[in-house]
Amino acid sequence: MNRRTRLLLSIGIPVLLVIVVAGAFLWQQHAAGSGVKQSQPVSGTLEPQCTALTKSGTPSTQNLTSMSLALDWTPNTNHTGIYVALAQHWYQVEGIDLRLLPYSASVSPDVLVSTGKADVGVSSTEGIVADAAVGQPVVSIAAIIQHNTSALVTLASSGLTRPRDLDGKIYGAFGAPYETAVVSEIIKHDGGTGQFNSVTLDVDAMQALESHRIDFAWVFEGWEVIQAQREGYKLNVFPIINYGIPDYYTPNLITSPTEIQQKPELLRKFMLATACGYEYARAHPKESAQMLLDQNANGTFPDPGLVFASQNFLSPRYADPGRKWGLQDASAWHGYPQFMLNSNGVDDASGKPIHSLNLDALYTNQFLPWGS
């Protein structure tokens, strides 16, 4: 090799390396700026079924089975496990092309699922009981959060420091037939008479509370309470299961009896990816919150800090330590639903209260990867 060749190589190789490194950096910047969603590596302890899922390699995008999931609200931390599974391509690994149907105020996820317009959806125990009562049954296939995290709240400045103080006050209702019984029971459990005034809201409950249109509201601790605190509002919080209301699941993942009969294997694959998404979110609040943010359009969350704070609250509450995500117990499906039935909180299709249902038909654990 002559001196000229050595000189050219000594100059050319470093320059080539610089070009390659710079090109890779610029490509990453372009991907980030153009909205390309980058999946994050999975680390930490997962269930064996989930570990196998993460090691499946890059999934094929061909020959996927289309599946639709109807959301119950705008994206939030109740949905994080779903977005984690999307970000990690676990639905594709299971052969599923999952499409999320955005929340619509004009049609509930329950209706979409029961009529076959969605394969699965996000609902609540109250909705599932009401669906059965009117002859449009859906089935809960997983509990997203193991224990109820809703509460009655008042402004700290109101002087209403415990539930019995709510006698004679104004409650901001959302129009469900079971609300009066639940709120009354909470007040009576604390020594009050259970008598209060109710107005059905056409605005956000926290807005109505903060503007003093109402005295108290029923909200979720994992979102509205944290959001109010971040906005500088101090609240008195009365968790409903601390005041005589049986613990129950909300939200829930639902499907239809027809889907169960016709597509059981598809549901098992869907639940494997989804369960692993929530198991990951249990162990990795920060990373899973970032995936929720990244998987949604810019502007979906005006306060990204709320997402991280909410995720820190919910991740340890998806399931108790030592318990796998999603499992449902008979006690939860007989306690609160029977309370609703006993208190005239459930109407049939003609608008008349009913007092009995086959509560065991409202849920199943059969599609969870860890069974019952």
Output the DSSP codes for 322-343: TS-TB---HHHHHHHHHHHHHT
Asked if residue 312 belongs to a domain, the reply is: yes
Q: Do residues 325 and 235 both lie within one domain?
A: no
Q: Give pLDDT tens digits for 207-234.
A: 999 999 999 999 999 999 999 999 999 9
Q: Do residues 297 and 282 both lie within one domain?
A: yes
Residue of 235, 255, 287 whose CA lies nearest to 131: 255
CATH number for the domain including 166?
3.40.190.10
Asked if residue 90 belongs to a domain, the reply is: yes
Q: Do residues 156 and 133 both lie within one domain?
A: no
Q: Do residues 257 and 109 both lie within one domain?
A: yes
Q: Do residues 299 and 217 both lie within one domain?
A: no
| CB atoms inside a 10 Å sphere around CB 296 | 17
Q: Do residues 180 and 193 both lie within one domain?
A: yes
Q: What is d(CA 283, CA 236) in angstroms, rounded to the nearest whole number?
A: 30
Q: What is d(CA 20, CA 366) in angstroms, rounded to the nearest whole number?
A: 51
Q: Do residues 253 and 142 both lie within one domain?
A: yes
Asked if residue 189 belongs to a domain, the reply is: yes
**SS3 state of residue 311:** helix
Q: Given this model, what pLDDT does residue 73 score?
A: 96
Q: Do residues 358 and 254 both lie within one domain?
A: yes
- What is the domain extent for residue 214? 150-242
**SS3 state of residue 69:** strand
Q: Given this model, what pLDDT does residue 41 score?
A: 52
Tokens, residue 112? 């979409």
DSSP-assigned beta bridge partners for residue 99: 68
Q: Given this model, what pLDDT does residue 55 score?
A: 79
The residue among 242, 269, 298 that closes a domain is 242
The residue among 242, 263, 293 that closes a domain is 242
Phi first, then psi, for residue 170 (nearest 5°) are: -100, 120
CB 215 within 8 A of CB 104: no
Detail the DSSP E strand segments found in the chain: 65-70, 96-101, 120-123, 139-143, 150-155, 170-173, 197-200, 216-220, 235-239, 252-255
Q: How many domains does the structure of the chain reveal?
A: 2
Q: Do residues 264 and 353 both lie within one domain?
A: yes
Q: What is the mean pLDDT of each run of 10 residues along the chain (372 residues)?
A: 44 43 40 39 66 79 93 98 97 96 95 98 97 97 98 98 98 94 98 98 92 97 96 96 97 98 98 97 98 97 98 98 96 98 95 96 97 71
Q: Do residues 253 and 107 both lie within one domain?
A: yes
Asked if residue 41 belongs to a domain, the reply is: no
Detail the DSSP E strand segments found in 176-284: 197-200, 216-220, 235-239, 252-255
List all residues 6 or more positions away from 192 whose beta carbon is below 8 Å from its beta carbon: 163, 164, 165, 166, 167
